[in-house]
Amino acid sequence: MKTLIRGGTVVTATDTYQADVLIDGERIAMIGNQIPIVPDKTIDARGKFVIPGGIDVHTHLDMPFGGTTSADDFRTGTIAAAYGGTTSIVDFAIQERGGTLRQAFDTWMAKADGKAAIDYGFHMIMRESTPALREEMGALVREGVTSFKLFMAYPGVFFLDDAAIFRTMQRSGEIGATICMHAENGPVIDVLVEQALAKGYTAPKFHALTRPARLEAEATYRAICLAEVADVPVYIVHLSAAEALEHVTAARDRGLPAFAETCPQYLFLSYENYEEPGFSGAKYVMSPPLRAKEKQKELWRGLKFNDLQAVSTDHCPFCMKGEKELGANDFSKIPNGAPGIESRMSLMYDGGVVSGQITMNRFVEITSTGPAKIFGMFPKKGTIAVGSDADIVIFDPERKTTWSVKTHHMNVDYNPYEGRVCQGAVETVLSRGNVIVERGIFTGRAGSGNFIKRAARS
Ligand code: URP
Ligand code: ZN
Ligand code: ZN
């Protein structure tokens, strides 16, 4: 099957030019003008951007957490991702206490199998760090799971102490893997939570007030120091605090392989959302929490100057009814997480490119190319080049999207951006050459997504 995308403006992380893109089977076969071929299908992209499919390297589909399970599974979550212009995700498999990494990998492969409508890879969350597990990390890397998420937060759930973190980092360094770090000082947060509850403070906003930015900054600094000594790249996930970003910037200025992502919620929502009436603030209970609005400009600056290399979603949706409600009388029981897999590209285009904060090339870099490079998927994923997978989005820069629970495709009963109008809309999406969204309608198939075997660092 040969598909020709005709007349669009191709945008990569480095270039912007008018060209036709020829796809042969699953790959990009030719880029040029007046390609002398009669294709099986032609897509008219005049007046549109032709960009690499979005890559969201932080999602939690079908994830047991906080006494419940995230509301999107691999079918609903990846279809919503496709609607939003994302063609690859890297989700998190979770090692059970006493279990092996292989068991976790098999469990998450089974969750995705027959359901994922786009390609998917996995990071591995390690809840323990025994000699046997550290040995096993090598086998996982050979399977294409080349990054491990560790937690400095959530004591009793995911938390590892510094010694365990350090040993795991050393092993990652040896085998060419990357450490993804949830950097918040969990033990100290637990003291603050206990003290707040003892005073009768139960409302959602106390989730944020008991997780101060300084404790994210402290953990970020500690993670970077441990990684430096262990000689391993560290990627700070869901960075929300400008105070934490300062440490990433300083480390990068020293030439360390320190990377960080932020998420749209930290760029477009803020502490004030917790003060919405009634229990509505629970919609935004996530860790780290939303921060002060006036600090957002620091995150934008980080994105512009490459102190932040990626924007992912941390998509971890829980319905208000029956799930967030678990914390109606105690903020610490509200399941942590929020939806966003569908709105990332739209928000970043509107709030980033249209508003003049970042260029269109930088938009492509932070939503696709950068994460593909950091996590061993480039150049198969993350660019428009001959030989790359034909994961392509035709993006209409003029048409507007209004975000609403009534029209979104995520399996969750609220949208954190309800009513927000974004300029720009995903029109057509191709996943490995197959059109999976055509003029705004999903035409793909659950189960057509492939596992992405990611490369380790050489
Ligand atoms: O609140 C969040 N971020 N929920 C998902 C789990 C995590 O820590 O990424
Ligand atoms: Zn986390
Ligand atoms: Zn997460």
User: What span, in angstroms and rounded, lies between the C-alpha atoms of 87 and 367?
Assistant: 11
User: What span, in angstroms and rounded, lies between the C-alpha atoms of 389 and 184?
Assistant: 37
The answer, yes or no, to whether residue 267 has pLDDT greater than 90, is yes
Query: Would residue 418 count as lying in a domain?
Result: no
Pocket residue to mutate for ligand 1, from 316, 318, 334, 412, most atoms within 8 A of Cβ:
316
Closest by Cα among 214, 340, 334, 213 to 285: 334
pLDDT attached to residue 351: 98
**Residues 109 and 22 both lie in one domain:** no
Both tokens of 361, joined, read 């090339």
Query: Would residue 456 count as lying in a domain?
Result: no
Q: Which residue lies with its CA nearest to atom 9 of ligand 1?
A: 314
Which domain, by its residues, includes 41? Answer: 2-51+382-395+424-442
Query: Would residue 454 count as lying in a domain?
Result: no
**Residues 44 and 174 both lie in one domain:** no
* Amino acid (one-letter) located at 173: G
* pLDDT single digits (tens) 18-62: 999 999 999 999 999 989 999 999 999 999 999 999 999 999 999
**Residues 313 and 366 both lie in one domain:** yes
∠ CA 72-75-80, rounded to 5°: 70
- Give the pLDDT band of residue 167 (cuts 50, 70, 90): very high
pLDDT attached to residue 237: 99
**Residues 33 and 120 both lie in one domain:** no
- Distance in Å, CA 314 to ligand 3 centroid: 4
Q: Give the number of the atom of ligand 1 that is nearest the alpha carbon of residue 286.
A: 1
Where is pLDDT greater, at 120 or 34?
120
Query: Would residue 412 count as lying in a domain?
Result: no
**Residues 47 and 105 both lie in one domain:** no
pLDDT attached to residue 34: 87
**Residues 108 and 215 both lie in one domain:** yes
* pLDDT single digits (tens) 93-114: 999 999 999 999 999 999 999 9
Query: Which residues approach ligand 1 with their CB closer than 6 A?
Result: 60, 182, 238, 286-287, 314, 316, 336-337
> What is the side-by-side order of every strand in the sheet holding 119-125?
54-59, 86-94, 119-125, 147-151, 178-182, 234-236, 258-262, 310-311
Q: What integer best gives the mean pLDDT of the chain?
A: 98
User: What span, in angstroms and rounded, lies between the C-alpha atoms of 18 and 4?
Assistant: 14
**Residues 28 and 59 both lie in one domain:** no
Q: Which residue lies with its CA nearest to atom 3 of ligand 1?
A: 287
Q: Which residue lies with its CA nearest to atom 7 of ligand 1?
A: 287
The answer, yes or no, to whether residue 69 has pLDDT greater than 90, is yes
User: What span, in angstroms and rounded, lies between the C-alpha atoms of 340 and 412?
Assistant: 10
Query: Would residue 400 count as lying in a domain?
Result: no
DSSP 367: I
Query: Would residue 416 count as lying in a domain?
Result: no
pLDDT attached to residue 94: 98
**Residues 24 and 146 both lie in one domain:** no
The answer, yes or no, to whether residue 289 has pLDDT greater than 90, is yes
- Give the pLDDT band of residue 206 (cuts 50, 70, 90): very high
Backbone angles phi, psi at 301, to 5 degrees: -65, -40
- Distance in Å, CA 40 to ligand 3 centroid: 41
Number of independent structural domains in the chain: 2
CATH code, domain carrying 99: 3.20.20.140
**Closest-lying ligand to the alpha carbon of 216?**
2
**Residues 57 and 45 both lie in one domain:** no
CATH code, domain carrying 31: 2.30.40.10
**Residues 351 and 387 both lie in one domain:** no
**Closest-lying ligand to the alpha carbon of 287?**
1
Q: Which residue lies with its CA nearest to atom 2 of ligand 1?
A: 337
Average pLDDT for residues 273-285, to the nearest whole number?
98
**Residues 241 and 301 both lie in one domain:** yes
Query: Would residue 455 count as lying in a domain?
Result: no
- Give the pLDDT band of residue 126 (cuts 50, 70, 90): very high
* 189-216 burial: b if 16+ Cβ within 10 Å, else e: bbebbeebeeeeeebbbbbbbbbbbebb
**Residues 32 and 69 both lie in one domain:** no
Both tokens of 339, joined, read 């939806």
- Distance in Å, CA 392 to ligand 3 centroid: 26
- Distance in Å, CA 60 to ligand 3 centroid: 6
Share of the chain above pLDDT 70, in %: 100
The answer, yes or no, to whether residue 402 has pLDDT greater than 90, is yes
The answer, yes or no, to whether residue 152 has pLDDT greater than 90, is yes
* pLDDT single digits (tens) 170-188: 999 999 999 999 999 999 9
Contact 404, 392 (CB under 8 A): no
- Give the pLDDT band of residue 458 (cuts 50, 70, 90): confident
Query: Would residue 333 count as lying in a domain?
Result: yes
pLDDT attached to residue 174: 98
pTM for the model stands at: 0.98
